Structure 1
Amino acid sequence: MWILYDSVAAISSRSGAPFLIVRFENTQRTLGWSITKPGFCCTREVVWLEVRNADLTPHVDPVEFLKKKLASRGLSDAAAFMTSREIGRHHISQSRIGSVIATCLATVGLTNGERIGTRRGQKVLLPGTINTLVHVSHSLSAGAFVESVSIATQARTAAVMETNPDRGGPAITGTGTDCILVAAPEGNQLESCAGLHTDLGEAIGAAVYDATYAGAMEWNAENREDGPNSKTSEGAL
């Protein structure tokens, strides 16, 4: 499946288990904590690898496992996430504010839910994760990149909290293994800030919130404890 957006650097997503691939027309600068390209990096491809618990047994190095899988598909230079969420269940949202276009693609699993500032007492055997890619149409300064990651994190957290099912405990704010990556085109005219009051911050927030909200609602519906189809759809990272 290919999806094309009329952003400055068009995004195409191709889904074919076990990979979900986002390929940009041109190299993008990135900031985040993807497994293979943490911190400030550059890439033309962002990849989700779908895995199962059986793939990541205690003796398996997850980073090496991921690198081998990427190499087998000629994707060694990609920024990459791992998830056991079915990659066909990803969610995409796009927001346009002024001249800014922000596009978010996210996979959402919440088994490994955590609340910031609290200590989890019981180990969860089937952790989940939220993997978020947000692309913006404008080039960003280092400071704007950092601020964009902050906005994306706020948007993800708001969406998770507002979709929490009432299970008698405090609302979770994310999971223990969430990853976020912000991508933007290379260029000389750089946006210097991305606060909530800017077109850039507003567009990022809307795109990430909407994609995460949709993903969380779908995951909650699949995993209702009293539902006829109750199941855990996240079985690893």
Structure 2
Amino acid sequence: MTVLTLARPWLIADLGQEMRVLSFAPWRPGFATARRILWREVRNADLTPDLDVDRWFAAEMAGQGASGDVGMLTSRDIGRHFTAQAEVEGIAVTCIATVGLGNAETAGARRATAPAPVGTINLAVVVGAGLTETAQLEALTIVAEARTAAVMDSGLRLGNGARATGTGTDCIALAARPGEMRFAGLHTALGEALGRAVRQAVAVGAEDWMLENGRVADGYPP
């Protein structure tokens, strides 16, 4: 059972046991064994041009006693996190999402002027089944697909009218026990549960962000 703790500037997801976490998080990316996944809330002003972010974040994680865990950075108010759960044929999936869209992009293009670097979508996804490494890789692609679908469904537009598909610094951390399940595609129960939980959590988070900030992301010339 995943337990969430909000202790500003941290949001901490305790997985209840050590799991194999696959991520491209800034702290301990790739395959890592960890019990916790953490978000560290930051502000653009915190990340000055002369800051060594890697060294700073290492010190922050160590100060939290989390050097052996997986860590992500977000400028989204971590109090505005959203959780969705889905279970299909006995396979349960939980998605915890912080959704910031100030850094929005559309796949296949880039903004002429780079937006703020930390407005992003950060997802922690916990699978209640044992997976092979290959299945975990496939599951990560389903999470990314569901996230993109939710962003596109939100209707967020960039300044040039293009539909946003994500942000420039999205991050996903997918936790599962090592096991024998070999497949996680859209035809499987696991794929269905992943898609449902992630799409719901990101959709709610995106709507929450747009209620605050509007439905057009600035940064492209007209």
TM-score norm. by structure 2 comes to 0.93
8 Å CA contact retained: 1:26, 1:185: no
Q: Which amino acid aligns with 2:154?
A: T
Query: Which residue of structure 2 aligns with residue 152 of structure 1?
Result: 143
Query: Which residue of structure 1 aligns with residue 100 of structure 2?
Result: 109
TM-score norm. by structure 1 comes to 0.87
Question: CA RMSD, aligned part only?
Answer: 1.7
Deviation at 1:225, TM superposition (A): 7.2
8 Å CA contact retained: 1:13, 1:22: yes
Counterpart of 1:191 (choices 178, 181, 185) is 181
Q: Quick one: structure 1 residues 53 and 96, their matched pair in 2 at CA, closer, same or farther if it must change by over 3 Å?
A: same
Counterpart of 1:40 (choices 2, 26, 31) is 31
CA separation in 2, counterparts of 1:200 and 1:67? 34
Whether 2:112 is the aligned partner of 1:121: answer yes
Q: Gaps spanning 5+ residues in structure 1: where? A: 1-9, 227-231, 233-237
Q: Quick one: structure 1 residues 220 and 80, their matched pair in 2 at CA, closer, same or farther if it must change by over 3 Å?
A: same
Which structure 2 residues correspond to residues 62-141 of structure 1 after superposition, within 5 A? 62-125=53-116, 127-141=118-132
Q: Which amino acid aligns with 1:85?
A: R
Q: Which amino acid aligns with 1:44?
A: R
Whether 2:134 is the aligned partner of 1:165: answer no
Whether 2:193 is the aligned partner of 1:203: answer yes
Q: Gaps spanning 5+ residues in structure 2: where? A: 218-222
Q: Between the two proteins, what is the percent identity of the paired residues?
A: 41
Deviation string 1:56-104 (CA, Å, 9 cap, x unpaired) is 1111111211111111121111100001111010010000001100000
Deviation string 1:200-235 (CA, Å, 9 cap, x unpaired) is 000001110000000000000000279xxxxx9xxx
Deviation at 1:123, TM superposition (A): 2.4
Considering fraction of residues, name the structure with more strand: 2
Q: Quick one: structure 1 residues 81 and 120, their matched pair in 2 at CA, closer, same or farther if it must change by over 3 Å?
A: same
Specify the SS of the correspondent of 2:21: strand
Deviation at 1:119, TM superposition (A): 2.8
8 Å CA contact retained: 2:157, 2:215: no
Query: Which residue of structure 2 aligns with residue 179 of structure 1?
Result: 171
Q: Quick one: structure 1 residues 115 and 166, their matched pair in 2 at CA, closer, same or farther if it must change by over 3 Å?
A: closer
Counterpart of 1:27 (choices 12, 18, 36) is 18
Q: Quick one: structure 1 residues 26 and 179, their matched pair in 2 at CA, closer, same or farther if it must change by over 3 Å?
A: same
Specify the SS of the correspondent of 2:131: coil
Q: Which amino acid aligns with 1:140?
A: L
Specify the SS of the correspondent of 1:64: helix
Q: Which amino acid aligns with 1:138?
A: A
Deviation at 1:165, TM superposition (A): 3.5
